[in-house]
A and B are shown apart, each in its own frame.
Chain A
Amino acid sequence: MALKDYIRERFFPHMWCAGCGHGTVLNSLLRAVEQLGLSKNEIVMVSGIGCSARISGYVDFHSLHTLHGRALAFATGVKLSKPELNVIVPMGDGDALAIGGNHFLHAARRNIGMTAIVMNNKIYGMTGGQFSPLTGIGGMATTAPYASIDRSFDVVEIAKAAGATYVARSTAFHAQECTKMIHDAILHDGFSVVEIMTQCPTYYGRKNKLGEAPDMIKRFKDITTPIGSKAKQENPDLIERGVFVEKNLPEYCAEYDKIIERAKGGA
């Protein structure tokens, strides 16, 4: 199928700002789904609130637009009742790790077979540019006019520590890499986290004087490096990209089925 067959064209042009990295994530996601050859009926997109969450409205899959931060909780319900479906949960950095922090940790701990895409633009774009848990020390935001003093989370480290069994990071600049990671994350039988660094030219870019969208997306090439590269040893400030975790552990729905069998047998 062509990419356009996977979207709800009547809602285009989409509502994201010019140059918003979330659009590139949508682009990469559609390519991953196309490569996998999945039918639209096999996919459920469950999102919360925020610019990133709007992605579920643009795809012509089953979609649920739910509460801020709680998308993973709704998605857990969907997955447990219909484990054969591919559940994809697109989230923003604030949605995933501030409001939805606990849901994120526990979905990872349970290793439930879903794909969480964390579109990290380091700010709350939709509500006016407030700082998020990913803004980091020195970052400017409308609620941090003299720079944020809060340390930043590291999405990858949190996902690893909480027990996610597929953890990867890329950026909007590396669109092909994103497609590959989303592809592999959907195939992975367990909780997958793909962090994609995206540019918010309207708020984060403007507040932090990072230029226009093309400057911001090019910057991702300069501030990141593949895992274990020589460049990282020379410059520890570089952010690593790649697949950090990929391991097979018992998946939650499969374990739950075993419990049902055990309960039936015991009666």
Chain B
Amino acid sequence: MAKAKLKEHRINRDWCKGCGICVELCPKKVLEMDAEEKSAAVRPEDCIACKLCEMRCPDLAIEIITEQDEK
């Protein structure tokens, strides 16, 4: 399987409760809390599209869209 290439982080700000699990557990430290205590992808270029944030998010607020997903 070809490596997934990131297209975008889709973060649902209405659903995110700012628990910080994604920020803490991202292996590449891509995410940070913004001024409103919502998750934000501040270093998307470092993202390896492992989707661990998406799978662990208790609020179902993160979607990692890869180029493969789009096809």
Interface positions of A (Cβ within 8 A of B) = 3-4, 7, 12-14, 16-24, 26-28, 30-31, 172-173, 175-176, 179, 201, 212-214, 217-218
Contact = CB atoms under 8 A, between A and B. Distances in A.
A19 B20 contact: yes
Contacts of A3: 60
Contacts of A7: 60
B15 A214 contact: no
A251 B4 CA distance: 42
A201 B23 CA distance: 17
A31 B57 CA distance: 13
Given A13-B17, A23-B60, 4 more contacts: A18-B17, A18-B59, A19-B58, A31-B55
A265 B71 CA distance: 57
A212 B17 CA distance: 13
Given A12-B15, A13-B15, A23 B24 contact: no
Interface string B1-45: 000000000000011011111011100000000000000000000
Interface SS of chain A: helix, strand, loop or mixed?
helix
Contacts of B61: 13
Nearest to B62: A27
B24 A173 contact: no
Contacts of B18: 18
A12 B21 CA distance: 19
Given A13-B14, A18-B17, A23-B60, A28 B55 contact: yes
